Structure 1
Amino acid sequence: MTGELRVLVVDDDALVRGGLAMMLDGANGITVVGEAADGDEVLAAVDTHRPHVVLMDLRMPRVDGITATRRLRARPGAPEVIVLTTFDTDENILRALRAGAGGFLLKDTPPPRIAAAVRRIAEGEPILSPRITRRLMDRAATQADAYDRARDALAALSPRENDVVLAVARGRTNAEIAAELYMSVATVKAHVSSVLAKLGLDNRTQIALLAHDAGLA
């Protein structure tokens, strides 16, 4: 996206919020427009500050980050969410992604990578560290019920849409998919939008998860 990239930081630790805001504010067009101290403050803060991206802590005292993400992503036009946490258990990762988070990063991620992740997710690209991705896909691939559901869902797509799904699952950008499949970037975006609509998904990360559930990548 072009212009100012607006970010909301959600964390119950004031020092963490302040550190993230100091690190991100002004970094290559990023502006931290607001902060929230708990998940129950997220919807009001989004209404007030209109961020493009929300950095969401996982564990908070009243409403946790997964519940807050699910509530937020259920709203039309919701901002993208990156869960930023110290707790990287498989269950937490899966719950966050299925709640609609577009990414999952650990709090020890170097600051430049967090800033880069914010910019990337604003463009609709999924954000997962390689270590988390491998663990997530290994788990998903072993779940027979998820495999059957994923296969049934993908059967509703056209062959070209399935090609795009496979490329998304392999972490390709829109430009890379366009080059590999000999189509324009606009056509790739149209296929991705069609896949999201047909499958009732929120973002590219969920497309990738579904493809791996189906054993395609």
Structure 2
Amino acid sequence: MNSRAVKVFLVDDHNLFRSGVRAELGPHVTIVGDAGDVDGAIQGIETTKPDVVLLDVHLPGGGGLAVLQAIKERRPDVCFLALSASDAAEDVIRLIRAGARGYVTKTIATPDLLDAIARVHAGDAVFSPRLAGFVLDAFAGGLPAGTVADEELDRLTTREKEVLRHLARGYTYREIGTRLHVSVKTIETHASSVLRKLQLSNRHELTAWAAGRDLL
């Protein structure tokens, strides 16, 4: 595959770092844009339609998670590779549960970053060696029977699980009602019940919860 054909968008709040990444990656991939905050990133990604987004975790206006969640609802085909100074387990798991295809730290060498971009674009998952353990611990064995995650899912009725999947995929209450042949009011009731039973606050949290359990 011609790496220049891969369109990359860079999200980081440090202008000097963005300039350095542009200089390093520019001869090898097509940098279609960059942004330093959440709103600029969402708008830029929507406009440029990249294949891969290099995403920092900590950004003004809500963080990398807010960018990922907003774009995944609208453009599920975009691949996200976290590129961050943070190697905290909670940051890694949060981004992966929300749908990022990989997570590498800013200490990564340019050839390795190019390889990570290519692999993510091809559908692989990529992690810095130290971070892979966090992901394995969180997702090992698909969460075997008896874990907390299974107990949470078991609280839901069959219909609530159907509503959960549709909500997590971005359908509106009306669209879900049409698909399941019930009223919007019924869907609202099921949705409220799902959020209450799973102790979630909103649809973004629900989507991340479902993504982390391969329910999408």
Q: TM-score range by the shorter chain?
A: 0.5 to 0.7
Contact (CA 8 Å) 1:150, 1:210: kept in 2 or not? no
Q: Deviations over 1:10-51 (max 9, x none)?
A: 111001111111111121xx1111111112212210122121
1:74 is paired with a residue whose SS is helix
Matches within 5 A, 1:3-82: 4-27=5-28, 30-82=29-81
Q: Which runs of 5+ in 1 are unaligned?
A: 152-200, 212-217
The amino acid of 2:50's aligned partner reads P
The amino acid of 1:49's aligned partner reads T
**How far did 1:149 drift?**
6.6
TM-score by length of 1: 0.64
**How far did 1:138 drift?**
2.6
Equivalent residue number for residue 105 of structure 1:
104
Q: What is the rounded CA distance, in whole Å, between the counterparts of 2:137 and 2:38 in structure 1?
A: 30
Contact (CA 8 Å) 1:67, 1:99: kept in 2 or not? no
TM-score by length of 2: 0.64
Equivalent residue number for residue 186 of structure 2:
none
Q: What is the rounded CA distance, in whole Å, between the counterparts of 1:25 and 1:125 in structure 2?
A: 22
Q: Does 1:144 align with 2:147?
A: yes
Q: What is the rounded CA distance, in whole Å, between the counterparts of 2:153 and 2:30 in structure 1?
A: 38
Matches within 5 A, 1:117-136: 117-136=116-135
1:101 is paired with a residue whose SS is coil
Once superposed, what is the RMSD of the aligned Cα atoms? 2.9
Q: What is the rounded CA distance, in whole Å, between the counterparts of 2:138 and 2:43 in structure 1?
A: 35
**How far did 1:147 drift?**
5.5
Cα 1:68–1:125 change in 2 (3 A) is: same
Cα 1:109–1:150 change in 2 (3 A) is: farther
The amino acid of 1:110's aligned partner reads A
Q: What is the rounded CA distance, in whole Å, between the counterparts of 2:75 and 2:56 in structure 1?
A: 22
Q: Which runs of 5+ in 2 are unaligned?
A: 155-206
Contact (CA 8 Å) 1:40, 1:63: kept in 2 or not? no
The amino acid of 1:101's aligned partner reads A
Q: What is the rounded CA distance, in whole Å, between the counterparts of 2:100 and 2:15 in structure 1?
A: 22
2:71 is paired with a residue whose SS is helix
Equivalent residue number for residue 83 of structure 1:
82
Of residues 66-75 and 51-60 in structure 1, the stretch that sits farther from structure 2 once superposed is: 66-75
2:115 is paired with a residue whose SS is helix
Cα 1:150–1:105 change in 2 (3 A) is: farther
